[in-house]
Structure 1
Amino acid sequence: MTSFVPPVRARRRTASLALVLCAGLTAALTACAGEDPDKGTNGVAKLSAPEIEKKARSAADSAPTVRLAGTLVSKGGTYKIDMRLKDRGGVGSVTSKNSTFELLRVGEELYLKAGAGFWSHDEHGTSGDAGGAAADKLEGKYVKVPEDDPTYKQMSGFTDKKVLLDGLLSLHGEVGKGDRDTVRGVRTVRITGGKGEGGALDVSLEGKPYPLRFARGGGGGVITLADWGKDFALAAPADDDTVDYGRQLPKSAS
């Protein structure tokens, strides 16, 4: 008996169909296995939570600049901040319940700039016409803050990169790994302290593992951290834009 041999075209169609079926099966198996979530990342998410925390802190400490923006809640009140910081100074604004003021620190010299509403008392602590005259004089001017004035210690912390980062990057309690997320379009992995009660930190999975967002425990505010390593101009204000009160600032409404 002569065996049947299919035509060449039929054999080709059968082979092509087999290839299509194999390709489909391979794709299905790949889909079932799931795409690697760490593909294209810096690999930090594979580390343990303490290791991620260490990497994030190291990246932050080595960066020459950063921008912090968001809300801080403390016993003294709620503050909205937007500060650009360097190792030797910073510039930006702080808004409290009663007012908004600008801060500028270059080296050890700290300047405060606010509207007339911020300055409601004269240098002797009395209100009235004298206080109003002082407020008008100070409006829109950079007032140099003496280093031995209590305001210096209170305000300079907002312009100190190390002080702010030490506070914002400290998680309290046992550090654990949380979910993945995105911050301003950048993929992140979250680490938490005390299951979130001690704060939560989102660390970048793209490029250097910079901290990108910090939520303080107990509803203490949320701060975003951006512009890591981006330089900005920082210089003392011109003399005609500056008021120097000597050893003590005039009292203010805040």
Structure 2
Amino acid sequence: MTAIPRRRTSRTALLGAMCALVVTGTGLTGCSSDPDEGTNGVGKLPADQIQAKTRAAAESAKALRLAGNVVTSGRTYKLDMKLSSEGASGSVTAEGTTFGLLRVGEHLYVKADADFWTHADGKGDGSDSDAAAADKLDGKYVKVPAGDPSYKKFSGFTDKDVLLDGLLTLHGALDTDGHHEQAGTRTIRITGDEGDGGTLDVSLEGEPYPLRLARAGGAGTLTFSAWGKSFALAEPKKDETVDYGKQLPTS
């Protein structure tokens, strides 16, 4: 009399295991026929409406973390930045050289090693005078004057609104490309020009934040995380800072 319930229990367990296997392999949620069940509902919208909602969510968020690669003007930049409306902190790597960026309000600082400063403007010749000047800046927060040509270049990596406005753009006709998963979060993917214009994964859980962007033309891939999570920003200590006044030194 007890064998039948056990077989039913075993069959139920087997079906549950098969369901879990399918979920793991495809990124779908449960064995429901509706992949949008239990989500924020944006997966049911047309691609242009999804894009509008994810842009609005990104713009309203107080903070985020952005990481990945961006290819522009033939150069590849590796970014790992925490961004907020109040400023930013993080690092950028370009051509094998990494430098730190810190912006608190309008005050912008660059922190790098001596080698970075020796070749910062492409004119350094490795002379003793170059090395001496660079050694003064080695490992220090160098305050970038607002009027210096470098200010606009560096601050672009620290401006949340500027970065997101430039990055969250898909080119060509928009369409959806199924349900996916990013770092354990269910997403709906939208594409531009059938993927040639870039792809963007949008969260189906909570706010429809953008979570992963593959830029058009292989121009880099970025992930977005820690949406709305504030982080500490503070001016560096005086003994850690070098202020060169109106213009940064050149080699």
TM-score (norm 2): 0.84
What is the alpha-carbon distance in structure 2 between the residues aligned to residue 224 and residue 64 of structure 1? 17
- 1:76 Cα deviation (Å)? 4.5
Counterpart residue identity of residue 168, structure 2: L
Deviation at 1:98, TM superposition (A): 3.5
For residue 226 of structure 1, what is the aligned residue in structure 2? 225
Instruction: Give the Å deviation of 1:127.
Output: 4.6
C-alpha distance in 1 between matches for 2:214 and 2:131: 40
CA separation in 2, counterparts of 1:113 and 1:43?
A: 43
Could you report, residue by residue, the CA deviation over 1:97-128 in whole angstroms, capped at 9, with x for unpaired residues?
Answer: 14100000111111000011111169996752
> Which residue of 94, 98, 102 corresponds with 2:100?
102
SS of alignment partner, residue 84 of structure 1: strand
Q: Taking structure 1 as reference, are residues 121 and 40 closer, same or farther at Cα in structure 2, changes over 3 Å only? A: closer
Aligned partner letter, 2:222? I
Q: Say whether the 8 Å CA contact 2:66–2:81 is kept in structure 1.
A: yes
| 2:23 match | none
Aligned partner (choices 47, 52, 55) of residue 53 of structure 2: 55
| Residue pair 1:71, 1:221 contacting (<8 A) in 2 also | yes
What residue is the counterpart of 1:37 in the other structure?
35
Q: How does 1:1-254 map to 2 (within 5 A)?
A: 35-120=33-118, 127-251=126-250
Structure 2: runs of 5+ lacking an equivalent: 1-7, 20-30
Q: Residues 178-234 of structure 1, C-alpha deviation per residue, up to 9 Å, x if partnerless?
A: 121110010001001111122111000111110001110000000000000001001
C-alpha displacement of 1:134: 1.4
CA contact (8 A) 1:72 1:222 kept: yes
In 1, Cα distance between the equivalents of 2:120 and 2:139? 16
Q: Report the RMSD for the aligned CA atoms in angstroms.
A: 2.4
Answer whether contact 1:73 1:220 (CA < 8 A) is retained. yes
Runs of 4+ in 1 over 3 A off after TM superposition: 121-127
For 1:118-152, what per-residue CA distance to the aligned partner results, in whole angstroms no more than 9, with x for missing partners?
11169996752221111111111000001111111
Task: Give the number of equivalent residue pairs.
Answer: 225
Greater mean alpha carbon deviation, residues 35-44 or residues 65-74: 35-44
Structure 2 SS opposite 1:218: helix
User: Helix, strand or coil: the match of 2:146?
Assistant: coil
Counterparts of 1:62 and 1:121, CA distance in 2: 39
CA-to-aligned-CA distance 1:43-102 (integer Å, 9 cap, x gap): 110111111111101110110001000000011400000000011210000000141000
* TM-score, normalised via structure 1 length: 0.83
User: Cα distance 1:76–1:248, how it changes in 2: closer, same or farther (>3 A)?
Assistant: farther
**Structure 1 residue runs without a partner (length 5+):** 1-19
Report the Cα distance in structure 2 between the residues aligned to 1:182 and 1:111, rounded to whole angstroms: 36
Residues 37-46 or 123-132, more deviating: 123-132
Q: State the one-letter code of the partner of 1:56.
A: T
Q: AA paired with 1:191?
A: I
Partner Cα separation in structure 2 for residue 127 and residue 95 of structure 1: 21
